[in-house]
Structure 1
Amino acid sequence: MNNRGALPPRHSILLVIGLLMTSVVILGVTGMLTSIVIAQINQGMATAVNQSGTLRMQAYRVGVALTDDRVPLETRRERARLLAAEYDRWLISERLTAVLPDQATDPVRLAYEGVRVRWVKEMRQAVLGFIDAGEEAAASLAETAKYLDRVDDFVAEIHALVRLLEERAERRIRLLRWIQAIALALTVTVVLVTLILVQRRILRPLGELLDCADRIRRGDFSTRATWIGHDELGRVGAAMNLMTEGLSDIYRELEQRVADKTRDLARTNRSLALLYHTSRALEKASLSDSVLRGVLEDFREQLGLVDLRLCLRDVPPADAPASGSGDSPDEIPAETPDNSEPRARDATATSGPSVIGFPVGELGHRFGTLCATLPPGGQLESWRQPLLESLAGHLARSLNLKARIDEDRRLALHEERGILARELHDSLAQSLSYLKIQVLRMEVALSVPQDAPRDAREPALPPASAILSEIRDGIDGAYRQLRELLTTFRLRIDERGLATALSGTVREFQDRANLDIDLVDRLPAGLLTPNEEVHVMRIIREALSNIVRHAGTRHGSIHLERRNGGIDVLITDDGRGLADEPVGRDHFGLRIMRERALSLGGDLQIESPLDNGRGTRIRLHFRPRGLVPEGAATDRDRPGETPPGASTTETGITDEQDT
């Protein structure tokens, strides 16, 4: 296949610029490699020069050691021996020999060998002769004179070696300088050529193409690019001219499509706004005739219908809720069992309008039909039908919600009545029964004459005054139960939840009984249902009441937390504890708490006394419905485990005397 995208090498801008950039890179790399190589070769040269200078100084130090008359002769000999040994080490040190060339004929190598040979054969021999002269002063002086006569020439040879090393280093640096200068000049030349090429073959054509593109962006499709050469940008210019011609045709077509889509979008926005307004109207206001009439009228005007009616089942004509045509309620037909199924009626055959019905129902329950009347000869457009179906769905949900709210209110009313009856039966009714028994005992006691002998009275019958005292105590207890029942029935857990209600209860007992209560609530908000919150609240209040009456302490604590897949409620005090067999109201209060725990499907445990011999701990553990897996049964759902008379929304804590 012929590759039409390939360009001749001489026409390709990318190839030319690539070659120029490659040249710059090669020059730069060459300069850097040369610098690295010369720096590597020159490495240690400065150290070698310093080492050579040290040899000169060391030669004079040896001469000073030989001629220093201020110290004993033996000391001078020992110092001369040490300096000579040190000179040997410095002369063959790697710091100096590492930079020497390997060629035997190299001037630097020859100069070094001359210094080394002269030191070994002449200078060191003179030092050794001085050391080995013994006690002969003349021999020592002769060797010293021999060393001193030769030391200047020896130092001159060392100086020549240092000069050669310095010249060698300077030559290498000059070579590096020339190489860097040449590479820099070539690099600058290549860069200038590249800039000129970029200016002529890239920037200028590219500016023209960008100007052409900018005019096209502003909608001027008559513009054409003049740079249409054989390189890449020339081909881009030619392609842009072809593209502009095509865009001119496409743009006209798109303008028409955009206008159509804009109309559709505006209609969709109006439809969404209408649905939103309808949803808000049905949610915020109570479902009344005026609300439904307003909703239907809005839809009728928006959709251009002749009439829009809501026909409900089993509703008398006078009570039919709404119509969108302005008719009075008497003129709105209610749906009867005969026309329970939705249907569309085409009345064009009788020169009448077309009527289309939409079912209004939810979850298998049918509330009625939404009847839309079209103009004569009109058709229901595709965008109108979803709106009418959505309206029917909103109406069905609103009607269903209203029915559920009414049903919930009825159930709540029956449930509250049952709760009230149970609380009265468990508290006041038993107290009144107790008082009735005491009255019977009083009648028996009063029937016996006061002056009758003691043997004539009932042996176990107490005096009338004692029975009267018991009746008075019973009346006081019943009155106290009535007050607590009234307080309990007034207690409510509002939308702020259990935490707020618990805080209020703690403050109430702190103010009323001067009780110090620590509240630790680690339960997440919304975990318990309202029914569960009420039961937990009642148990806590009953436990706090027991602390106030019997514990003999001023401190208690309440802990609520999740544990072992359920909820733990701990009420603890450090008082006297409970008796082994609680009597009277204590027995009744504990029984009520256990019944509430069973109604929650949980368990109530009472520990008293605790490990320290004092205090009471009441522990309630249950699994709330929010933590029960879907489909799993709980203790409260199993038959036979809910105590008789236990209600799902009990709201009372009562006082009771044993009868």
Structure 2
Amino acid sequence: MAKVLKRVRQSIVFRIGGLLLLTAVIAISSMVASYVISDAAQHDAEAINLSGFVRALSYKLTAAAQSGDTQSTREMTAALDKQLQKISTISSFPLSDASTEADNFRAVQQEWQQKIRPLLNDVAAGERAIASRELLAFTDAFVTKVDRLVLDYQRIAEQKVKFLRLVQLASLFATITLVYFSVFTLSRSVEQPLRELISSCREIARGNFRPRLTLHSEDELGLLTQTIRRMSEVIDQTHRQLEERVKEKTKQLRKSHEVLDFQYRLARRISEGTLVGAELKPWLKEFSELTGLNDLDLCLMTPRGETPYEHLIHGRGNQSCTERDCYNCSHACGPSERANQRLYRFPLEADKRNYGVLVCSLPRNQLLHREQQLRLSAFADAITTAITLKERGQQERRVALMNERAIIARELHDSLAQSLSYLKIQVARLNRCTRGENIDRAQISEISEELKQGLDASYRQLRELLTTFRLQVSEGGLHNILCRSVEQYREQHPEIAIELHYELEEIPLTPNEEIHLLQLVREASQNAVYHSWGDRVSISLLPGEGQRVFASVRDNGKGISDAPEKRNHFGMSIMQERASNLGGELIIRRRETGGTEVSFSFIPEYARAQQTQENNQTQADLHLLFASRTNR
């Protein structure tokens, strides 16, 4: 029984199933009882009808006996016996039955068998004379008993109907009660918990992982409620943990963004120009605030020095630093422990050259996170890049200065020095003419005229050299400076029509290529303007086949002489040298229509790089093809 009660308490299905089973049992019992009662009352009406027939037949039998009709009396007597026998069969009262109905039936049978039947037979046979009133009195007494028997059968039938009605009413009440309990159980144990669960599920769907679940039961829905409650608690806890992790990650990303922004601004500042040591201190302070590292040392050294020329400290710095072992400190890497501090060193090294060290000091019981180490390393690399860029810029300026001096020396040697040498020769000739006894005034006048022409040429060359040395490829590039040069020629020589055709806007030329190409064009155009004696000069810079660049200067003057190495043509050797520096081809020729044409062509650096890459790819493909054929 305890197991059944436990099962009822723990299972909604079992409770509802039990209620349905009880309802079915009551319905079936009601139907069975109705059937049994109706079956038992099936012959009650027949018994009443037979009893009434016995009563009517008794009066007929009395009349027939009085008339002396023996045959009729005998037949009616047999009929009445038969009716009583039927009543006995229908009633089937056992001998042990002591009920009133059984006693009344036995009294009727006894009265008939022992008194009425013998009396009526004797009267009909004439064996006994009896008055009609007396015979009728016997018959009435017998009929009275029969009437009592009819009433008994009627009462029995009414009791069965009443019992059937009670059974039906009890079944109806029990059915209604069970239906009510079933509906109540469904409402309390199923509908209300389901409504609460659905409401909780909607709350969970809206993001509220703490729904109010008040159901406490041991059945299936109670188990489901407990499961959802525990699951909601786990989800809520997980959600809160994820929110905390998201906040932490967001904080870390914000910090990383700030550090990246710092590194970007530092890199942009480094790219803008030299970052001197005094300017590093605010950058060091900002880096310390971003990373939360309060004690930093930045020692800057020359590659060959052993002590720092500048020592920047933020916070307390390295308390154990005595500037006695700077070489080993700057070349050390990784963590170390000194006094009450843990030191992390990040050398400023590039190309096997040491420029100092960045030292981070922490309490002895504290470690540096990997992310902080990466940030320190990146900051050290940025400082190293700034120093190397400064050193490289200085080296490039030295090289540029030396190259510029070499160019100036070469230009002076190839132009002004030759003119001065020519003037020196003329002065020597003049001295020889003046030392003799016979002075040839015509020769002296010729020498003086040549000296004047030489001085004019030297002065002109000096001005051209000054213009060349002041030349810069400013914003706008090669096209802009060529346009300005053409404008200067037009202002100085308005009688000469100078045209410029420039179509190299889509070709990326290096600064070195632009300088040499500019000098070539200026040298050729100067020769055309000053020495061609023409009135038209055409300058063209055009792209050609094979990714080559073509530059040409044409004039319609007298044409180049057969001996261009004579005076005023010394710039051609300079143009040849510039052409060789660009790896190009320079051609100077006399035009068939008159005048001179200086043409130059070369392959730019970007095109040479592409051709080299294509050649390397072709060689690699051929090597793979050869290897595949060899393997076959």
Q: For the superposition of Structure 1 and Structure 2, which TM-score range results when normalised by the shorter chain?
A: 0.5 to 0.7
Q: Secondary structure at the match of 1:582?
A: coil
Q: Secondary structure at the match of 2:370?
A: coil
CA distance in 1, matches of 2:436, 2:605: 61
Q: Does 2:375 correspond to 1:405?
A: no
Pairing 1:451-600 to 2, within 5 Å after superposition: 463-514=443-494, 515-524=496-505, 527-549=508-530, 550-582=532-564, 584-600=566-582
- Residue type matched to 1:287 in 2? L
- Residue type matched to 1:540 in 2? V
Question: Deviations 1:159-205 (Å, cap 9, x if unpaired)?
Answer: xxxxxxxxxxxxxxxxxxxxxxxxxxxxxxxxxxxxxxxxxxxxxxx
Q: 1:624 maps to which residue? A: 604
CA distance in 1, matches of 2:253, 2:324: 37
CA distance in 2, matches of 1:210, 1:586: 105
Offset of 1:246 from its aligned partner?
7.1
Q: 1:43 maps to which residue? A: none
Instruction: Call closer, same or farther: CA 1:525–1:355 in 2, change over 3 Å.
Output: farther
Q: 1:261 maps to which residue? A: 249
Q: Does 2:302 correspond to 1:302?
A: no
Offset of 1:623 from its aligned partner?
1.8
1:286 to 262, 271, 274: 274
Pairing 1:67-216 to 2, within 5 Å after superposition: 216=204
Question: Deviations 1:616-656 (Å, cap 9, x if unpaired)?
Answer: 322101122222237969xxxxxxxxxxxxxxxxxxxxxxx
Does the Cα contact within 8 Å between 1:294 and 1:324 map onto a contact in 2?
no
Instruction: Call closer, same or farther: CA 1:355–1:243 in 2, change over 3 Å.
Output: closer
CA distance in 1, matches of 2:201, 2:489: 81
2:331 to 341, 349, 366: 341
Q: Does 2:412 correspond to 1:424?
A: yes
- Residue type matched to 2:528 in 1? I
Offset of 1:318 from its aligned partner?
6.7
CA distance in 1, matches of 2:242, 2:292: 30
CA distance in 2, matches of 1:408, 1:214: 73
Q: 1:361 maps to which residue? A: 349
Q: Does 2:607 correspond to 1:607?
A: no
Q: Secondary structure at the match of 1:518?
A: strand
Offset of 1:283 from its aligned partner?
3.8
Pairing 1:9-48 to 2, within 5 Å after superposition: none
CA distance in 2, matches of 1:285, 1:557: 38
Instruction: Call closer, same or farther: CA 1:242–1:606 in 2, change over 3 Å.
Output: farther
Segments of 5+ residues of structure 2 without an aligned counterpart are 1-196, 214-226, 614-632
Q: 2:95 maps to which residue? A: none
Does the Cα contact within 8 Å between 2:548 and 2:602 map onto a contact in 1?
yes
Q: Secondary structure at the match of 1:322?
A: strand
- Residue type matched to 1:342 in 2? A
Question: Deviations 1:216-236 (Å, cap 9, x if unpaired)?
Answer: 5643346799xxxxxxxxxxx
CA distance in 1, matches of 2:358, 2:366: 18
Offset of 1:280 from its aligned partner?
3.8
CA distance in 1, matches of 2:551, 2:566: 25
CA distance in 1, matches of 2:611, 2:327: 37
Instruction: Call closer, same or farther: CA 1:253–1:632 in 2, change over 3 Å.
Output: closer
Q: 2:112 maps to which residue? A: none
Offset of 1:323 from its aligned partner?
2.6
CA distance in 1, matches of 2:564, 2:492: 25
CA distance in 2, matches of 1:558, 1:566: 14
Aligned pairs, how many?
A: 399
Instruction: Call closer, same or farther: CA 1:565–1:249 in 2, change over 3 Å.
Output: same
Offset of 1:473 from its aligned partner?
1.2
CA distance in 1, matches of 2:541, 2:274: 42
Q: 1:433 maps to which residue? A: 421
CA distance in 2, matches of 1:296, 1:332: 21
Does the Cα contact within 8 Å between 1:342 and 1:359 map onto a contact in 2?
yes
Which is richer in helix? 2
Instruction: Call closer, same or farther: CA 1:338–1:224 in 2, change over 3 Å.
Output: closer
CA distance in 1, matches of 2:364, 2:263: 26
Q: Secondary structure at the match of 2:369?
A: coil
Does the Cα contact within 8 Å between 1:281 and 1:291 map onto a contact in 2?
no
Does the Cα contact within 8 Å between 2:306 and 2:327 map onto a contact in 1?
no
Q: Secondary structure at the match of 1:386?
A: helix
Q: 1:322 maps to which residue? A: 312
Offset of 1:385 from its aligned partner?
1.0
CA distance in 2, matches of 1:320, 1:397: 17
Instruction: Call closer, same or farther: CA 1:284–1:325 in 2, change over 3 Å.
Output: farther
Does the Cα contact within 8 Å between 2:300 and 2:308 map onto a contact in 1?
no
Q: 1:36 maps to which residue? A: none
Instruction: Call closer, same or farther: CA 1:429–1:575 in 2, change over 3 Å.
Output: closer
Offset of 1:317 from its aligned partner?
4.8
- Residue type matched to 2:545 in 1? R
Deviates more, 1:478-487 or 1:283-292: 283-292
Instruction: Call closer, same or farther: CA 1:375–1:222 in 2, change over 3 Å.
Output: closer
Question: Deviations 1:55-109 (Å, cap 9, x if unpaired)?
Answer: xxxxxxxxxxxxxxxxxxxxxxxxxxxxxxxxxxxxxxxxxxxxxxxxxxxxxxx
Question: Deviations 1:577-623 (Å, cap 9, x if unpaired)?
Answer: 3233336444313222222212221111123123xx32332210112
Instruction: Call closer, same or farther: CA 1:618–1:222 in 2, change over 3 Å.
Output: same
Pairing 1:211-230 to 2, within 5 Å after superposition: 216=204, 218-221=206-209
Offset of 1:310 from its aligned partner?
2.1
Segments of 5+ residues of structure 1 without an aligned counterpart are 1-208, 226-238, 452-456, 634-659
CA distance in 1, matches of 2:574, 2:458: 17
* Higher RCO (Cα < 8 Å, 6 or more apart): 1
Offset of 1:576 from its aligned partner?
3.5
Identical aligned residues as a percent: 34
Does the Cα contact within 8 Å between 2:415 and 2:571 map onto a contact in 1?
no
- Residue type matched to 1:310 in 2? L
Q: Secondary structure at the match of 1:379?
A: coil
Instruction: Call closer, same or farther: CA 1:483–1:523 in 2, change over 3 Å.
Output: same
Q: Secondary structure at the match of 1:559?
A: strand
CA distance in 1, matches of 2:378, 2:512: 35
Does the Cα contact within 8 Å between 1:317 and 1:332 map onto a contact in 2?
no
Does the Cα contact within 8 Å between 1:359 and 1:368 map onto a contact in 2?
yes
Q: CA RMSD in A?
A: 3.6
TM-score norm. by structure 2 comes to 0.56
TM-score norm. by structure 1 comes to 0.54
Question: Deviations 1:227-284 (Å, cap 9, x if unpaired)?
Answer: xxxxxxxxxxxx9999978754542342233233233223323332333343344444
Deviates more, 1:552-561 or 1:309-318: 309-318
CA distance in 1, matches of 2:408, 2:250: 64
Offset of 1:375 from its aligned partner?
2.4
Q: 1:129 maps to which residue? A: none
Q: 1:202 maps to which residue? A: none
Question: Deviations 1:386-434 (Å, cap 9, x if unpaired)?
Answer: 1111111111111111110111111111111111111111112111111
Q: Secondary structure at the match of 2:244?
A: helix
